[in-house]
Chain A
Amino acid sequence: MIEQVLQTLPQVLIDGLALGAVYAIVALGYTMVYGILELINFAHGEIFMTGAFVGTAILLTFSGLGWMASMPAILALLLVLIVTSVATGLLGMGIERVAYRPLRNAPKLITLITAIGISFLLQDIVRFITELKNGNYILTGPSLFSKQIGVKASAISSVFNDASVKSSFFIVLILAVIMMVALDFFVNKTKWGMAMRAVAQDRETAALMTVNVNKVIALTFFIGSALGGATGVLFAVQYGTIDPYIGFILGLKAFTAAVLGGIGNIRGAMFGGIMIGLLEMFAAANLPVVSHGILGAEYKDVFAFAILIIVLIFKPEGLFGKVSVEKV
């Protein structure tokens, strides 16, 4: 049994890392918004999904116009990433302005309910547009970077099997790392980042210190949503097929990652995302093996939710979060 687990380990690590990078960046959006507003932005998974669709639509238009041949694929991808992230960033800002800002002093449950509403709305609008243009709401993008590269893991030790990697894996990973490092720098080293941290710590005092709170919150939504949308594009490139309902469960898992890393903690969210990605791939590959076929790979989602529930119940502050004390 151990042998089998070890044999698949290199492939599990590679797949888990790619998925984990996606979770990590989506988790950033949840954790930033929660840190600043104490609100679970349920619609964030849908912003990710919208990003995937916008990006794929642009890529399809490019190849339809024959532009893909005239420029290197990586340049096209960067262009698409920038356009998509601006679009989803504005979308996120708009959602905050319309649906969350009027309810900032309302009970939290009400805000959560609007968030669910927004999430349903986005799913259906995207489904509608795609189905109108495409005839079917499941969309397959042009395949970029689909070269398979073999990894000779058996050369390291004979217990491992060889693994294979799509070349998009490296692009996803590198871009994800760039995004995370850039965000970390932005939040910790720039003036706007300082304003964000100030608002997260104490909104009223920050306002007294001439921080424009509404602007900072809008900026937070812009950055979180832009990152989420860009990740959507990366997801579409890596996995090929997308549909309007991918955002919800993925968002939930990314939220799990944010909670695992301690919600509000940006580095924690990155770590949590990678962890959840690895664990999920590990579970998908090994649950049937370990349980002798009793538990199928379909239980990997149960696995992710179980982590969420266990963390929330026993360690709600997460691995790196601060324990919050409720004041009366």
Chain B
Amino acid sequence: MDVKNLLSTIQANKRLQAIIVGLYIVVTFASLYLAQKSVIAFLLLLASLLLLYFTSFSNRVKWLVGGLVLVVLLPLAASQGEAYQSYMEVATLVGIYIAMALGLNIVVGLAGLLDLGFVAFFALGSYTYGIFATSQANNFMPFGHYPLSGESFWVFIFIGCLVAALFGVLLGIPVLRVKGDYLAIVTLGFGEIIRIIFNNLDKPVNITNGAMGLASVKPPELFGIQFMYPSQFYYIVLIILIAVIFAVRRLEYSKIGRAWKAVRENEIAAQAMGIHLVRTKLMAFAVGASFSGMMGVVFAAKQTFVDPTSFTLVESITILVMVILGGMGSVPGVILGAAIVTILNLQVLTELTNWLNQLSLSGVIHVPDALSPAKMQRFIFGIILILFALYRPQGLLPAKNPVFDEKDLKDTDSNHPMNTGVHKGGTQHVHLDS
């Protein structure tokens, strides 16, 4: 009871919230700043964003504080020691996966089309940049000189986006004739086909260099500065991510976003309401794929190495786990889910493994190698998928539909008789969403 009371007082009091969040950020910042090797401090500082999400400030304040934490505090606190680049590496990958999960969220969460081959678009983006930013393109391009300079990276972000979107539409056209679980299988098949093709496209013309992969991809360059380190990529990813989140938020409440939700709930009813099914679904595929393609370009540039093993089915399922864990259709949820899964994968599991190894070495307990947490990914993902599907299908942060108070809308109507048309649009929302 006390906890409940405490929570409700905090919820009611904005100043208290500000103090708590501020204190939390300062403490975690200081602990990361001082205790460099502490992964926990790093994670806690990231968690301040989640805390921020639950406060009742206006969106603008939330964005400002969140931006401050991400742009200034996190890199500054992490930059004090040797672990700097590895922290930034994790943060960068978290950003990349968040953007991909947001893309998949449009396809699965909003439009209700289960895509099990989503990583294919990521692969397309990666290879688009990888091929032209290495000497690989010399093998088949009749003109031009390769590798292209690092400055082309910025153009390639858009090219990767377009290529992925194009393939999203091309795959979508045949695939969308099938529905539901068949669609899942077909997309899975397409994902595997693309991976196998990339794996074997070193003959007759060597385009992808097959299983060997493309090495030493040119790093991005801007005004003569080369982007080599994760701490630099972090800012690129952050900018793209903010653009992606902005786009997703706008799309969700736009006409096409509402059409996606309608198609998800009931295809036939949506069609009867005048929604063009094929066009709506293709849009979902294209938009979702384009985010993935963009991040593929960044990924290729960051790793400076592209090979088909980064694009297996497990990757597709990992992205799906992010969406399911966070909550299908919920943007904050998916961001949280992607962050949790990526950090779990990259930091928690490896740290646990190291810790257990040390324990085994010092002879405290003996943990067999087979049990090492770094190998348990599938187990953990499997458990997450099953438990969430069974007990919490709406995810950690469920999607919320905007609720319009009918009475409130009518009142504004009578106050401003000039705006009736606009507000009638508002009342229609109520019917759609309820």
Contact = CB atoms under 8 A, between A and B. Distances in A.
Contact of B386 (A99, A125, A255, A316): A99
A298 B382 contact: no
Interface stretch (B6-14, B87-95, B190-198): B190-198
Given A128-B379, A308-B189, A312-B185, A117 B389 contact: yes
A315 to B, nearest CB: 11
Interface stretch (B156-164, B345-353, B369-377): B369-377
A252 interface: yes
A181 interface: no
A298 B199 contact: yes
A103 B390 contact: yes
A209 interface: no
Which size bracket describes the interface of A in this complex? 35 or more
Interface in B197-253: 197, 199-200, 203-204
A60 interface: no
Contact of B371 (A106, A132, A301, A316): A132
Interface in B273-323: 313, 317, 320
A302 B356 CA distance: 41
Contacts of A113: 114, 320, 324, 385, 389
A127 B370 CA distance: 8
B75 interface: no
A134 to B, nearest CB: 9
A294 B201 CA distance: 9
A108 to B, nearest CB: 5
B393 interface: yes
A112 B300 CA distance: 32
Nearest to A114: B389
Interface string A241-259: 0000000110010010000
A118 B386 contact: yes
A309 B371 contact: no
Interface centre among B177, B189, B375 (most CB of A within 10 A): B189
B182 A117 contact: no
Contact of B376 (A124, A296, A306): A124
Instruction: Tell me whether chain A's interface is mostly helix, strand or loop, or mixed.
Output: helix
Contacts of B180: 108-109
A302 B196 contact: yes
A294 B174 CA distance: 26
B366 interface: no
A75 interface: no
A299 interface: yes
B188 interface: yes
Contact of B193 (A119, A131, A305, A326): A305
A64 interface: no
Contact of A124 (B108, B186, B382, B385): B382
Interface centre among A106, A109, A294, A328 (most CB of B within 10 A): A109
Interface residues of B, number: 48
A38 to B, nearest CB: 8
B196 A301 contact: yes
A121 interface: yes
A102 interface: yes
B379 A116 contact: no
Contacts of B203: 293-294, 296
Interface string A114-150: 1011111111110110011000000000000000000
Nearest to A125: B379
A122 B385 CA distance: 13
Contacts of B371: 128, 132
A76 interface: no
Contact of A298 (B174, B200, B204): B200
A110 interface: yes
Contacts of A118: 382, 386
B409 interface: no
A40 B178 CA distance: 14
Interface string B382-397: 1111100110010000
Contacts of A308: 185-186, 189
23 contacts: A108-B180, A109-B181, A112-B181, A113-B385, A116-B385, A117-B385, A118-B386, A119-B382, A120-B379, A121-B378, A127-B375, A128-B376, A128-B379, A131-B368, A252-B185, A293-B204, A294-B203, A298-B200, A302-B193, A305-B190, A305-B193, A313-B186, A328-B268
Given A131-B370, A316-B182, 13 more contacts: A109-B114, A109-B181, A112-B184, A113-B385, A117-B386, A123-B378, A131-B369, A252-B189, A252-B192, A293-B204, A305-B190, A313-B174, A313-B178
Rank and list the top 9 A-B pairs by shortest CB-CB distance, nearest first.
Answer: A117-B385, A121-B382, A120-B382, A131-B370, A124-B379, A305-B189, A117-B386, A124-B378, A114-B389
